[in-house]
């Protein structure tokens, strides 16, 4: 994780420039075209600037991939600022450390930065108030900002933000420790469904994604990459490719060695004046690959690998966390549940395949890319071009909208490809990935196996639980010796199991890696949440209890259940444990809420069933319930619910949208998700053999949002993990078929 | 030279006859609202209208639409006020938005042929359009809402 997190966690406000003497009126932020032509600009801080009409531009420094962050961050800032939302325009930040961390991953934008984002707005509001107080020659406490005006509290006089901005911009910014944030009950925009920032552009086809970048004299590149990770080009014949009308050049990319990092895979690029010619030219390349350095990877077979992982987790592993001594317990077989679960490799398949455009001159490198992590990519480009850290400004990275990402676009590989080709051709180059490129050369959610064993006693109480996990760790990208997940990875729904037991043993295994692993929406919470949620249901069946009763009994008393111990450091999604404890009371209320709202204990025909599950992840608590019908081994998903307690909600409608999306994403994983590998090569190609949920598979969906004043949790990812086992549990209750190996379509029609 | 009526304007393009319409629109005519998603007619991101009917532009050679009428998202309405667009706004359908041009073009052709489709008809017509963000619930709602609007 160090490699990603090399942006220091310095005080965000300092980075945001709200310190004495840091106003840079000469440094104008990008404006809309109309403003730029006619209006002066008054910049209050790096995030906020006004024009003379009083319209405010607010920077969104994190990347939009559909989660609505370009609405929610400006919404938070505008609320603390006291701005009128109708006068807000949103400007996307380029890669720049002055904004603080920009890596948009881990559902972290709001949960990890809520206070600092609020401080940005509040500091500017205090400066506007101070400017008004100076004009009226009163103390700042005698004035207050509201909806784009500052009011004199006594006289009721008011001055517009637009008039005050030019004075405010000259003031010293308040010390971060003196800034007063609004109380929650005074929020004017947070918690409201404000107008979505990009909605109009999207519905008129005007929204610009990385694939849409167009520059004069630009070449479009499509690349043939090696089927086996780490293979390099031995030789190639481009003569047929060059015959395709529109093809301008064929260029071999640099060979890349392991560890793979998030660098390109090497290969051969076909550059053309249009995308069609580049795509057709690529098909006509003839390449001989050298796999001598990756002999083991070139024999990798994912089906064998899953068998191997399952065998491993059926043996004792290295202890991650333990209590009591399960190995001294004599398991009574009749009352013991023992189960092994597996999930294959999975892929992101965002609707927009990766794309990046670059121009490289001797002075500067300019990039347009849909990236979740602009500063990380900028740093990689600097390294690639040999630009020293102190000259990082020579790399201008413009962040476009992303047509979905789900973790795929946190990696900079496709950006480096564009930079390398732009440098080699001295022309603007846009690299576009075909769908086949995307499916076959991704960073996959690791194939995994989880094992569970526990005994149910006469009263239906569970104890002596063993859980084991084995999967290729993401750390392998940087260290080929990395063989098991770190504590931080094990904190994702595995070692943070919140059950009140006397005796448990949580264990991990070492495994080798052969394909590039990567973060996929919800990361290891997918496999851990599937295994945990399935096992609880299996325990309920064994104990002859309702799933609700089993969950409540396992979670036990109301308490804060910190899983950290001498041997295991719980990462808690990098949240402060004090603000975000593992709260069993919130868990139980979610389980009761979903059970009641979905009415899971209703009488059903024998071929229908409800399944539920739960996981706390990314600081939020989510429960899911699914109703299915099984007829002749074909399943139909009839209804899905999720209940979410994510603390303070900024944009309720976008939270609901994320939960709706999580149900569909979970359906894709559970029903059909499988990337298989044979001889080191991914076997799937496109949506016809890597299917994702379509509208005919989408059931009735309901979202139940808990009203909470707790600090905000994440929302992009926490919806997915409980959805997957809720589906397989429902199948069990409708058919007595227990799915322990995903996807479901291996054994049932979906 | 191929002639088409594109968004009610007559234009001609000089490209290879087998070049799919998608790339003619995006790369030659710089109309970027129509998206690439799969290249094989599987996902619907590239949906446009050919004489009012939804087609996948990524698998339609430009030569196949010679002298015919093509409508893209840019030409669906003059002010972004087609009833499908209005309903998409009202129900806040898009998440990332990338597939939504194709979704709206499919929905518009459905409603042009069937003013009041049933749930089953909506699902039947829309299953060629993938949304990886999972906006299907809202797509269904928005299509019904658009059907209820005065044209």
CATH number of the domain that residue B15 is part of? 3.10.20.30
The domain boundary residue, chosen from B57, B75, B93: B75
Q: Do B23 and B55 fall within a single domain?
A: yes
pLDDT tens column, A244-286: 999 999 999 999 989 999 999 999 999 999 999 999 999 999 9
Q: Write out chain B's pLDDT in tens, 151 residues.
A: 999 999 999 999 999 999 999 999 999 999 999 999 999 999 999 999 999 999 999 999 999 999 999 999 999 999 999 999 999 999 999 999 999 999 999 999 999 999 999 999 999 999 999 999 999 999 999 999 999 997 6
Q: Which residue from B34, B99, B134 is facing A693, i.e. has the nearest CB?
A: B134
Q: Which fold has domain A210-294+354-432?
A: Aldehyde Oxidoreductase; domain 4 (3.30.365)
Which residues 6+ apart lie within 8 Å of A605 measured at CB? A629
Rounded Cα distance, B133 and B19, in Å: 30
DSSP state of A675: B
pLDDT tens column, A49-79: 998 788 999 999 999 999 999 999 999 999 9
The domain boundary residue, chosen from B75, B97, B124: B75
Rounded Cα distance, A95 and A107, in Å: 19
Rounded Cα distance, B39 and B42, in Å: 8
**How deeply is A98 buried, as exposed, middle or buried, from its count of CB atoms within 10 A (0-12, 13-18, 19+)?**
middle
**Per-residue H/E/C for A562-589:** CCCCCCCCCCHHHCCCCCCCCEHHHHHH
- What separation in angstroms does the CA of A25 have from each of A60, A78, A121, A513, A748? 19, 21, 18, 52, 64
Dihedral of alpha carbons A482, A487, A488, A493, sign: positive
Dihedral of alpha carbons A453, A454, A456, A457, sign: positive
Q: Do B54 and B33 fall within a single domain?
A: yes
On the question of pLDDT at A690 being above 50, the answer is: yes
Q: Do A212 and B32 touch (CB under 8 A)?
A: yes
Segment A655-660 mean pLDDT: 98
**A7 band by pLDDT with thresholds 50, 70 and 90:** very low
Number of domains in chain B: 2
Rounded Cα distance, A137 and A54, in Å: 22
Dihedral of alpha carbons A665, A666, A667, A669, sign: positive
Q: Do B9 and B48 fall within a single domain?
A: yes
Residue ranges covered by each domain of chain A: 12-203, 210-294+354-432, 300-347+443-746
Closest A-chain CA to B33: A205
pLDDT tens column, A563-618: 998 889 999 999 999 999 999 999 999 999 999 999 999 999 999 999 999 999 99
- What separation in angstroms does the CA of B103 have from each of A468, A653, B55? 43, 21, 12
Closest B-chain CA to A436: B38
**Partner A, chain B 64-103, Cβ-Cβ below 8 Å:** 72-74, 76, 80, 85, 88-89, 92, 94-101
Pick left, alpha or beta for residue A632 (phi over 0 → left; psi -120 to 50 → alpha; otherwise beta): left
Q: Are A326 and A482 in contact (CB under 8 A)?
A: no
Residue A620 β-bridge partners: A617
Orientation of helix A525-543 relative to helix A547-555, angle to 10°: 110
Closest B-chain CA to A348: B132
- What separation in angstroms does the CA of A594 have from each of A179, A588, A609, A640, A710? 40, 10, 15, 10, 20
Segment A699-713 mean pLDDT: 98
Q: Which residue from A199, A404, A435 is facing B96, i.e. has the nearest CB?
A: A404
Gap from B142 CA to chain A (nearest CA, Å): 12
Q: Which residue from A204, A276, A686 is facing B19, i.e. has the nearest CB?
A: A276
Rounded Cα distance, A36 and A23, in Å: 20
**A41 band by pLDDT with thresholds 50, 70 and 90:** low
> Where in the sequence is the domain holding B26, given as residue range(s)?
2-75
Residue A523: φ, ψ to 5°: 50, -135
Closest B-chain CA to A666: B134
Question: What element of type H or E holds A159?
Answer: strand A158-160
ipTM of the complex: 0.99
Write out chain B residues lying below 8 Å of A205, CB-based: 32-34, 72-74, 76, 101
On the question of pLDDT at A13 being above 50, the answer is: no
Q: Print burial letters for A253-268: b (CB count within 10 Å at least 16), e (below 16).
A: bbebeebbbbbbbbbb
Gap from B134 CA to chain A (nearest CA, Å): 4
Q: Do B101 and B45 fall within a single domain?
A: no
The domain boundary residue, chosen from B47, B75, B103: B75
pLDDT at A176: 86
Asked whether the domain spanning A300-347+443-746 has the same topology as the one spanning A12-203, the reply is: yes
Closest B-chain CA to A692: B132
Rounded Cα distance, A494 and A84, in Å: 45
Q: Are A637 and A746 in contact (CB under 8 A)?
A: no
Share of residues in chain A with pLDDT > 70 (%)? 94
Gap from A246 CA to chain B (nearest CA, Å): 9
Q: Do B132 and A220 touch (CB under 8 A)?
A: no
Q: Do B112 and B134 fall within a single domain?
A: yes
Average pLDDT score over chain A: 93
Q: Do B71 and B10 fall within a single domain?
A: yes
pLDDT tens column, A324-378: 999 999 999 999 999 999 999 999 999 999 999 999 999 999 999 999 999 999 9
CA A294 to chain CA centroid, nearest Å: 30
| Angle at the Cα of A209 from the Cα atoms of A205 and A211, rounded to 5 degrees | 105
**Per-residue H/E/C for chain B:** CEEEEECCEEEEECCCCCCEHHHHHHHHCCCCCCCCCCCCCCCCCCEEEECCEEEEHHHCEHHHHCCCEEECHHHCCCCCCCHHHHHHHHCCCCCCCCCHHHHHHHHHHHHHHCCCCCHHHHHHHHCCCCCCCCCHHHHHHHHHHHHHCCC
Rounded Cα distance, A615 and A620, in Å: 8
Tokens standing for residue A124: 């500017």
On the question of pLDDT at A17 being above 50, the answer is: no
CATH for B127: 1.10.150.120
Report the top-level CATH class of A300-347+443-746.
alpha beta
Q: Do B61 and B106 fall within a single domain?
A: no
Candidates 3.40.50.1980, 3.90.400.10, 3.30.365.10, 3.40.50.720; correct CATH number of A12-203? 3.30.365.10
Terminal Cα-to-Cα distance of chain B (whole angstroms): 37
């Amino acid at each position: 994780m160090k490699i990603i997190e090399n942006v220091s966690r310095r005080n965000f406000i300092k980075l945001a420039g709200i310190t004495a003497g840091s106003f840079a009126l000469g440094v104008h932020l990008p404006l809309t075209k109309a403003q730029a032509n006619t209006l002066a600009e008054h910049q209050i801080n790096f995030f906020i600037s006004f024009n003379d009409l009083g319209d405010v531009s607010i920077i969104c420094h994190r990347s939009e991939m559909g989660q609505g962050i370009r609405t929610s961050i400006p919404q938070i800032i505008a609320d603390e600022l006291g701005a009128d939302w109708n006068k807000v325009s949103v400007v996307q930040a380029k890669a720049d450390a002055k904004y603080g961390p920009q890596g948009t991953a881990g559902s972290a934008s709001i949960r990890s930065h809520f206070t600092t984002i609020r401080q940005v707005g509040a500091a500017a509001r205090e400066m506007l108030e101070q400017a008004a107080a100076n004009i009226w020659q009163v103390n700042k406490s005698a004035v207050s900002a509201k909806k784009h005006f500052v009011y004199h509290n006594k006289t009721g006089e008011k001055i517009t933000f637009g008039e005050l901005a030019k004075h405010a911009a000259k003031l010293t910014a308040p010390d971060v420790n003196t800034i007063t944030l609004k109380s929650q009950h005074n929020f004017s925009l947070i918690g409201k469904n404000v107008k979505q920032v990009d909605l109009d552009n999207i519905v008129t086809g005007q929204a610009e994604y990385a694939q849409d970048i167009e520059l004069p004299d630009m070449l479009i590149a499509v690349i043939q990459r090696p089927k086996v990770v780490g293979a390099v080009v031995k030789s190639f014949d481009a003569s047929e490719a060059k015959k395709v009308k529109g093809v301008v050049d064929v260029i071999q990319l640099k060979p890349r060695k392991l560890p793979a990092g998030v660098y390109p895979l090497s290969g051969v690029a076909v550059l053309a004046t249009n995308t069609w010619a580049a795509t057709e030219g690529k098909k006509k390349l003839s390449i001989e690959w050298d796999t001598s350095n990756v002999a083991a990877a070139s024999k990798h077979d994912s089906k064998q690998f899953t068998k191997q992982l399952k065998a491993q987790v059926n043996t004792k592993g290295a202890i991650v966390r333990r209590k009591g001594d399960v190995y001294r317990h004599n398991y009574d077989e009749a009352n013991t549940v023992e189960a092994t679960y597996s999930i294959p490799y999975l892929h992101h398949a965002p609707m927009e395949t990766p794309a990046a455009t670059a121009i490289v001159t001797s002075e500067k490198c300019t990039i347009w890319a849909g990236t979740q992590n602009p500063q990380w990519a900028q740093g990689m480009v600097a390294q690639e071009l040999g630009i020293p850290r102190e000259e990082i400004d020579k790399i201008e990275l413009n962040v476009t909208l992303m047509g979905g990402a789900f973790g795929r676009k946190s990696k900079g590989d496709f950006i480096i490809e564009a930079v390398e080709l732009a440098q080699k051709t001295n022309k603007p180059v846009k690299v576009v990935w075909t769908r086949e490129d995307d499916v076959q050369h991704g960073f996959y959610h690791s194939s995994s196996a989880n094992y569970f064993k526990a005994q149910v006693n006469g009263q239906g109480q569970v104890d002596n639980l063993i859980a084991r996990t084995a999967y290729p760790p993401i750390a392998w990208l940087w260290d080929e010796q990395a063989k098991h997940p770190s504590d931080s990875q094990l904190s994702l729904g595995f070692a943070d199991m919140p059950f009140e037991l006397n005796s448990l043993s949580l264990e991990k295994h070492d495994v080798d890696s052969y394909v590039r692993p990567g973060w996929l929406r919800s990361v290891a919470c997918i496999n851990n949440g599937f295994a945990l949620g399935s096992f609880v249901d299996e325990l309920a069946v064994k104990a002859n209890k309702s799933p609700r009763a089993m969950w409540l009994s396992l979670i036990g008393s109301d308490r804060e259940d910190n899983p950290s111990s001498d041997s295991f450091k719980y990462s808690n999604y990098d949240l402060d444990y004090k603000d975000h404890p593992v709260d069993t009371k919130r868990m139980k209320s979610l389980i009761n809420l979903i059970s009641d709202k979905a009415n899971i204990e209703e009488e059903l025909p024998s071929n229908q069933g409800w399944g539920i599950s739960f996981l706390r992840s990314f600081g939020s608590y989510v429960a899911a319930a699914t109703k299915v019908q099984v007829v002749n081994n074909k399943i139909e998903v009839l209804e899905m619910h999720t209940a979410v307690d994510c603390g303070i909600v900024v944009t309720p409608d976008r939270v609901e949208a994320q939960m709706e999306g999580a149900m569909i994403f979970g359906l894709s994983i559970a029903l059909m998700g499988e990337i298989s590998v044979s001889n080191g090569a991914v076997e799937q190609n496109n949506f016809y053999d890597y299917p994702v949920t379509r509208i005919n598979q989408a059931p009735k969906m309901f979202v139940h949002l808990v009203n909470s004043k707790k600090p905000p949790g994440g929302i992009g990812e926490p919806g997915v993990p409980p959805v997957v086992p809720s589906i397989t549990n429902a199948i069990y209750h409708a058919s007595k078929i227990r799915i322990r190996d995903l996807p479901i379509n291996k054994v049932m029609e979906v | 030279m191929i002639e088409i009526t594109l968004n009610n304007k007559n234009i001609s393009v000089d490209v290879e006859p087998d070049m799919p319409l998608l790339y003619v629109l995006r790369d030659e005519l710089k109309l970027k609202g129509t998206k690439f998603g799969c290249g094989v007619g599987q996902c619907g991101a590239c949906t446009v209208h050919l004489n009012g009917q939804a087609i996948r532009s990524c698998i339609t050679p430009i030569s196949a639409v010679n002298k015919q009428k093509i409508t893209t998202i840019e030409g669906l309405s003059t002010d972004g006020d087609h009833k499908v667009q209005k309903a998409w706004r009202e129900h806040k359908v898009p998440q990332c938005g990338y597939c939504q041009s194709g979704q709206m073009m499919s929905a518009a052709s459905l409603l042009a042929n069937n003013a009041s489709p049933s749930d089953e008809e909506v699902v039947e017509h829309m299953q060629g359009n993938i949304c990886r963000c999972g906006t299907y619930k809202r797509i269904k709602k928005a299509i019904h809402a658009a059907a209820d609007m005065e044209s």
